[in-house]
Amino acid sequence: MKLLTSIGDLDTPISSDVEITSTDDEEVTMTMQTDLADTADTADTAETAAATIPGPTDGLWHLRAAGVSLVLEVARSALPQILHWGADLGDLPADELDALRAAAVPPVASGTPDAPVPLTILPEQSAGWLGTPGVTGHRDGADFSTRFLVEQVRLVHDVERDGAPVAHRMTVDARDAEADLTLRIEIEMLPGGLVRARGRLRNTGAAVFTVGSLDLALPLPREADEILDFTGRHLRERSPQRHDFVAGTHLRESRRARSHDGTLLMTAGRRGFGYRSGEVWGVHVAWSGNTRTFAEQGMPTGERLLGAGELLLAGEVRLSTGQAYESPWVYASYGDGLDELSHRFHTYLRSRPQHPGSPRKALVNVWEAVYFDHDLDRLTALADAAAAAGVERYVLDDGWFRGRRDDTAGLGDWTVDDDVWPEGLHPLADHVTGLGMELGLWFEPEMVNPDSDLARAHPEWILQTGNRMPPEARHQQVLDLAHTGAWEHVYGQIDAILAEYPIGFVKWDHNRDLVDAGHTATGGAGVHAQTHAAYRLLDALRAAHPHVEFESCAGGGGRADLGILERTERIWTSDCIDALERQTIEAGTGLLVPPEMLGSHIGSPTSHTTGRRHELSFRGATAFFGHLGIEWDLTAASEAERSEVARWVAAYRQHRDLLHHGRSVRTDDPDPALRVHGVVREGAGEAIFAVVQLTTGVWAPPGRVRLPGLDPDTTYDVRPLAPGDEVEPGHGEALPPWWSDGVRLSGRTLAGAGVQLPHQFPERSVLLHVTAV
């Protein structure tokens, strides 16, 4: 292990001749109202390392983990510069690190500064960088441009943050004496090869400094010549879009404090990169408020980068003397193909101590079964049908609280409606738990209906600007949780409900954008503080009720970032349960979020949101790979349908250990009508694949389908998996000869040659079970 001390006054690269010491770890805490740290920067942990890495060598560090290398240069005159982020370079000796640095220096070109302009992790105009700057802000117009000089660097290995392992942690402290600002940059490499970074900007001057942005940037090689990101809307999240990486800035901003139309990932790679091949780099902002993510190519020198950070509204962060703004973590993943990039995110999420470790309970949510029609007899009958199907959790959705007979009233009044529930929720809770199921409950804590007791009593608790109310959405406004009274009101009411009833699961919804969201008292923009306040509310409720699992829902998948996933056990992936739409929605969301955290439900035969009608086999096979639930009035289903639902629930419960702990794999099938994806158990002893026929294909039968991710030297038994083994015959077509008895092939053959699949009608799916012989 190595720990760097202060650099000193010499404007030279940092020396590696330093003393190794150990200090106690203290994390800066944020104040409740401002979320701006007033305390001084404190030391980082330098714990005893289980292993060491080479470096530093004359200001160079080479960090490695799980097939990824990150080579950084830090000198007093410049913030950290990443010389390489990508494929593992091996155990580089000191002289080769020096040679790598020399080989990376570009010559001076016509029309450029007389010395090469470094692209640092936080780019500065003072160094000659004229792309997107890392820090923007001002002190009443002055100090708009920074020049930070590094004062101290620390590097520790094999430590933890919040209970999760960190392979390497670098902390860089810098100061701009002219602007009276200090900067701390933290760069961490996680054991799975994921990189993350954040910055903390502190005002040391007497006058207020207004922060405009703090964006972190990671360089890309010239080979990254194509961009893939995602867009969408409510009911159609994560729609992929690709285009060439050209000069200029491809900027994606989310100003809604949720991101149906935003991108969870901004990726760039070699043109044509897919799931299984092609180098690809991607970034993600772990923040549930407004964000900005961009891919940029500067001219004339052509540097390419991915950048990201919080999108701050005007005046949201104003730092008084001693106060600091800390950016969200920006996560960065590299892979040979999207599957490898995705796996690094999944590995990190699964390494955290709060990651759900118990089997993911099959659940029923009553929303699309009853909507606001809360009748005890009807709801208990639905509970009986769900329990008979093997369901383990029963979630009572919107409509249980005072005045909530439709979506026009009641939000903010989190007490049980006596008119509908004269004995409270106890009769339903007793019935549900008596059937052996866990009870879940819906809340929308951040919102308020103007038609509510809360809004009538405290209109000043509503986010608004200039004494005008924002336009309503779903007949609701946003409650200003940064107001102490509003926060305490919501916390008290929800805490009381969770204390009174045997609630094991909370669906936490967020059904409107934050528009014109200002604090009533000050008129200042409020999205930044609102996001921190929502985090505090979740954290406080989780601490008070540690047995309760929380789901993030924001009109479906509008809030699916790693910031909210630090506080929730799953997301509701989309309000659209149409199985065909879900194939694309879950493929995009699943690049970031592992299957066990993706709420995926079997809907009714006719989709509530699209009007499409799908066979139960397709709906079941689509929900099977996520955290399975049912969103259907089972009391209206036929006996045959209920029996088939029970078969899907039983298969899910039998195989969820594999589905929720294995490695997600996807293929790059040449037929766009076909989608093949699956999960391979750690050790590659077992796998389950879905072969999905999205539309009619060009070929019939579809040809051989490759099954990747298996051990090439192991022989596997491949056969259909019930209940996803049934194929509807059409036009006299026969099943492939191996279908009835299975076939045995090596992992190498399955990945390189594949197996012939039956011809399927559109919007159908079959499952394959692959087991080592």
Cis peptide upstream of residue 221 (ω within 30 degrees of 0): no
Q: Are 710 and 688 in contact (CB under 8 A)?
A: no
CA distances from 678 to 272, 658, 686, 688, 767 (A): 22, 10, 11, 5, 9
Give the separation between CA 303 and CA 567, rounded to whole angstroms: 37
Q: Are 287 and 310 in contact (CB under 8 A)?
A: yes
Q: Is 725 a catalytic residue?
A: no
Q: What is the dihedral of CA 298, 199, 22, 84, to 10 degrees?
A: -20
Please identify which residue in the block is written with the tokens 């659940």.
363
Q: Are 634 and 385 in contact (CB under 8 A)?
A: yes
Structure tokens at 35: 């979320």
Class of residue 667 by CB neighbours under 10 A (exposed 0-12, middle 13-18, buried 19+): buried
Please identify which residue in the block is written with the tokens 């292990």.
1
Please work out, in degrees rounded to the nearest 5, the angle formed at the alpha carbon of residue 765 by the alpha carbons of 762 and 767.
160
**Helix orientation angle between 376-388 and 639-659, rounded to the nearest 10 degrees:** 60
Give the separation between CA 721 and CA 41, rounded to whole angstroms: 57
Nearest Cα residue to 362 out of 600, 565, 552:
600
Give the separation between CA 714 and CA 735, rounded to whole angstroms: 26
Q: Which of 44, 480, 575, 669 is labelled catalytic?
A: 575
Q: Is 225 a catalytic residue?
A: no
Q: Are 694 and 732 in contact (CB under 8 A)?
A: no
Q: How many CB atoms lie within 10 A of CB 682?
A: 10
Structure tokens at 173: 């402290």
Structure tokens at 565: 């996933």
- Residue 606: what residue type? T
**Helix orientation angle between 616-623 and 579-589, rounded to the nearest 10 degrees:** 10
3-state SS string for 283-335: EEECCCCCEEEEEEECCCCCCEEEEEEECCCCCCEEECCCCEEECCCEEEEEE
Structure tokens at 515: 């528009």
Q: Are 713 and 749 in contact (CB under 8 A)?
A: no
Q: Which of 143, 215, 339, 509 is labelled catalytic?
A: 509
Give the separation between CA 694 and CA 760, rounded to whole angstroms: 10
By annotation, the residues acting in catalysis are: 509, 575
